[in-house]
Amino acid sequence: MEERKMPDTTVAFIGLGTMGRPMAERLLAAGHRLTVHDRLTGATAALAAAGAATAPSAREAASGAAVVITMLPNGPHVREALTGPDGALAAMRPGAVLVDMSTIDPSTSKEMAALAERHGVRMLDAPVSGSSAGAVEGTLTVMVGGDPGTLDELRPLLGELGRTVVHCGPNGAGVSVKLANQIIAGASMAAVAESYALAQRLGVDPRLLFDVVSASSGDCWALRTRPPVPGVLPTSPADDGFRPGFKGALMCKDLDLALATAADWSVDLPVTMHARDLYARMSEEGLGERDFSAVFALLSKQG
């Protein structure tokens, strides 16, 4: 079968939050013709100043674009942006590609892919991992579900956003892998926070703990990037008031998605449930907008 090529590099980017904005900025800097939309009009100002066109709706942003990228908080937001009264799908031309980089449930993602196909649009689900720092630096991991030929077309574009772009399987596979990743990330961060809470109570030097554990069997990404007390690692959110690279509220949302998906398939996830409850408590105590490593603040004040 003849390989299909994108007719141009006109990109619409919908959703300019903590992750979306730096990702859109990278595409603009790479020379793509970019139109952006966000429900919060102030979010588009920096992109407009850098040369992006802005659109008052997802539908207008998508009109004429070869590629439409969505980076939104949850499934209902994606559904509204694609199929609502001002949704993007109705405006997308046949043969265009929709890339949903949001973290949503696999069933909604597959449903959107089926709707896109009925509009003559190809869809990839392509959630990312790597936090806001990775979005700024273009070092994200991109987990892609969908047609491998379509992914091959878009690899140069996705390569502007991520250092690692992996084909995970058919539509829905990308978000499935992302939820599995979030289980590990969320649970390991909770374990790191618990270890530091205990060590703190026992009078252990937190930097010594980092040095020993990072060279031992407890070593993990959460420890390496987010030791949850100040003075251990200068780049840790703990050294910046827990300014979010990834919010606790979003980790709670992702673990909720994992639990709901697991329930649909009769899979028991007790560790995930405990971790989700901890991140839910973060929001209850006003910490949900901080980095998810701030879960340590819940644990360190107990007793």
Name the E strands within 71-198. 97-100, 122-125, 128-129, 140-145, 162-169
Residue appearing with tokens 């003075």: 231
Residue 128, beta-bridge partner list: 142
**The two three-digit tokens of residue 160, written as one number:** 């502007």
**The two three-digit tokens of residue 99, written as one number:** 């890339």
Helix/strand number for the chain, H first, E second: 13, 9
178 is catalytic: yes
Residue 172, sorted as left (phi over 0), alpha (psi -120 to 50) or beta, turns out to be left
What's phi and psi for 292, nearest 5 deg? -65, -15
Task: For helices 270-284 and 248-264, give the axis angle rounded to 10 degrees.
Answer: 150
12 touches 69 (CB < 8 A)? yes
The catalytic position among 178, 247, 253, 301 is 178
Residues with a known catalytic role: 178
